[in-house]
Amino acid sequence: MTTLQSESPYFAAIDLGSNSFHMLIVRVNDVKLDIIDREKDMVQIARGLNSDGIIEEATIERALTCLKKFSERLRDIPLSQIRAV
């Protein structure tokens, strides 16, 4: 069995969907993952598109507020251990 070599035992995955943004933070504990934190915000990007396909200001603000909250929680996790899709 191989051991995972990393800067920190913490990893994060972020899903930036058209309806909601999700974030999952885990800690590697020997051979298993422990869920440390889980966040979900309903940003509704798709609903916030106007008839020209441009994102409305209120929707942008919801998305940025969510991302700021995520960034505060991710502050101590190395960038190489964070993935966003």
Residue 70 has pLDDT above 50, yes or no: yes
For residue 71, the model assigns a pLDDT of 96
Average pLDDT over residues 49-70: 95
**Per-residue confidence (pLDDT) for residue 2, from 0 to 100:** 43
Helical (H) or strand (E) element with 72: helix 57-74
Quote the pLDDT of residue 1: 38
pTM over 0.75: yes
For the stretch 5-28, pLDDT in tens is 678 999 999 999 999 999 999 999
Query: Which tokens is 4 given?
Result: 């995972």
Task: Judge whether 66 and 15 are in contact, CB under 8 Å.
Answer: no
